[in-house]
Structure 1
Amino acid sequence: MEEVGVYEAKTHLAELLARVERGERITITRHGKAVAELVPPAPHDPQRIRDAMERLRVARAKLGKRGIKITRAEIVSWVHEGRK
């Protein structure tokens, strides 16, 4: 994995992103210390999404038995809030 300083990363961001698109991983450093990594996104995993949805369904059912109702809209709102 290549290391690139913050200034160089800022100056050559488009080139670094093109390299990441080709599968490379690049560590960005500040004063020789790693502060970030540019990596390709994780592949889409439909099973992981199904598993997460099942865990949410089970959690909603358990909470519902205790009188706590959670709507899909609330869950979607929490997901979006977590991305901020």
Structure 2
Amino acid sequence: MNPTVDVHEAKTKFSRLLEQAHAGQEIILAKAGKPYARLMPLAPPLSRRQPGRLEGRVGDEFFEPLPDDELDAWKRCCW
């Protein structure tokens, strides 16, 4: 269960609460005894794009022009 901390207490222990959140713990901040906000760790950064990681998965047919009927369907739908 996530600990609930009153706003007044959070002000005095903010650095410690930040360290706990950074370590992965979610902390609920309460105002007048009611949950008000959530202090939680940031999501890990997305991995960097890596050129060539789909090599061998996409064949030459992927780059061929679309048939006219399919192009017409796209034009009707989206333009």
TM-score range, shorter chain: 0.5 to 0.7
SS in 2 for 1:29: strand
Paired position in structure 2 for 1:73: none
Q: Percent identity?
A: 35
Q: Structure 1 or 2: larger helix share?
A: 1
What is the distance in 2 between the residues matched to 1:38 and 1:5?
Answer: 12
Paired position in structure 2 for 1:82: none
Which residues of structure 2 form unaligned runs of 5+?
Answer: 49-78
Name the TM-score, length of structure 1 as normaliser.
Answer: 0.52
Paired position in structure 1 for 2:31: 30
The CA deviation at 1:13 is 0.1
What is the distance in 1 between the residues matched to 2:24 and 2:47?
Answer: 21
Query: Any idea what the Cα deviations from partners look like across 1:56-76, whole Å, max 9, x if unmatched?
Result: xxxxxxxxxx9xxxxxxxxxx
Runs of 4+ in 1 over 6 A off after TM superposition: none
The CA deviation at 1:46 is 4.0
Letter in 2 for 1:36: A
The CA deviation at 1:16 is 0.4
SS in 1 for 2:25: coil
1 or 2 for the larger relative contact order (CA 8 Å, sep ≥6)? Answer: 2
SS in 2 for 1:7: helix
Across the two proteins, how many residue pairs are aligned to each other? 48
Name the TM-score, length of structure 2 as normaliser.
Answer: 0.55
Indicate yes or no: 2:19 matched with 1:45: no
- C-alpha RMSD of the superposition: 1.7
The CA deviation at 1:32 is 1.3
